[in-house]
Amino acid sequence: MGQIRIENLSKEYVDRRRQKRSPTSPKTHGRRVRVLDGIHLEFDAGEMVCILGPSGCGKSTMLRIIAGFEQPTAGAVWVDDRRLNRPSPDHIFVFQHSGLLPWMTVSQNVELGIRHMEDEKEKAALIQEFVEMVELEGFENHYPYQLSGGMQRRAELARALAVNPEMMIMDEPFSGLDFLTHMKMREEVVNMHQLIGKTILLVTHDIDDALIMGDRVVVLGGRPANVKLDQRLDFSHPRNFEKDEELGRLREEVFLMLGVSYAV
């Protein structure tokens, strides 16, 4: 479960900002801007796929299409040989910016995705299990504003996990976190992935995140964007750039690919 095939995917937006508009002008009227161009990718079920690419190249757009929130201009996404055409509760999206509901406590936020469960005891046990998995025990009754940025992200992770989705789609889940929290979250997501074995698509701007966490790394680039690199990462965990020469070389290659000639 969770095998993904992206076939010849293209996306164009209509840029209407610089167009003269009238109430009768059609929505399709305007300059068409192609963001994604003929993307082919295949991910195995259970793979952790890390997606890199320069800002504005279309990473979030691709994720939104895979999640079924947006329709492609051409091409298709297949999940386990089913053509995807609308959002599904099996495909959970963790957003680039916090998506917790501010008027709900941690427990209530985690409960959101499983509120249909009838057995109250079972539901409470599940909420507790995931709150503990992300190390938020003791904060169940706190509201998001009473949590640090890292704790909010962990609460979001718990909410996504409780739904038991067949795939998780994460758009820069570590953005805005301090260095140590970022490192810790990275470790937690790797551990969680090894534990639950679900397909995870994770967009990051951090090359090291991608190479340390991923079973596969995909680099998008160009205008419109296409696939610059799609490579399996068969390195054992924990990964270390200094100790593993091949991984170190790949890191330099990806830095160069993204336009940085000196990998720090």
Ligand X SMILES: Nc1ncnc2c1ncn2[C@@H]1O[C@H](COP(=O)(O)OP(=O)(O)OP(=O)(O)O)[C@@H](O)[C@H]1O
By the criterion CB under 6 A, which residues form the site for ligand X? 13, 35, 53, 55-61, 205
Q: Which residue is nearest to Mg ion (CB)?
A: 60
- The type of residue at 137 is E
Between residues 96 and 128, which has the closer beta carbon with respect to ligand X? 96
Over the window 49 to 78, marking each residue x when it contacts Mg ion by CB under 5 A and - when it does not, the resulting string is -----------x------------------
**Minimal distance, residue 113 CB to Mg ion, in Å:** 23
**Minimal distance, residue 94 CB to ligand X, in Å:** 14
Nearby residues of 13 by Cβ (< 8 Å), 6 or more positions away: 32, 33, 35
The entry of Mg ion, ligand X, none that residue 58 binds, CB within 5 to 8 Å by partner kind = ligand X
**Minimal distance, residue 125 CB to ligand X, in Å:** 37
CA distance 39 to 224: 10
**Residue 150: phi, psi to the nearest 5?**
-65, -40
**Minimal distance, residue 39 CB to ligand X, in Å:** 12
The entry of Mg ion, ligand X, none that residue 105 binds, CB within 5 to 8 Å by partner kind = none
Between residues 106 and 214, which has the closer beta carbon with respect to Mg ion? 214
Between residues 147 and 189, which has the closer beta carbon with respect to Mg ion? 189
Between residues 61 and 109, which has the closer beta carbon with respect to ligand X? 61
Contact 146, 109 (CB under 8 A): no
In b/e form, how buried is each residue of 43-80, taking b as 16+ CB within 10 angstroms?
Answer: beebbbbbbbbbeebbbbbbbbbbbbebebbebebebe
**Residue 160: phi, psi to the nearest 5?**
-65, -40
CA distance 157 to 134: 7
2: left (phi over 0), alpha (psi -120 to 50) or beta: left
The entry of ligand X, Mg ion, none that residue 55 binds, CB within 5 to 8 Å by partner kind = ligand X
CA distance 145 to 129: 23
The entry of Mg ion, ligand X, none that residue 35 binds, CB within 5 to 8 Å by partner kind = ligand X
Between residues 52 and 192, which has the closer beta carbon with respect to ligand X? 52
Binding site for Mg ion (CB under 5 A): 60
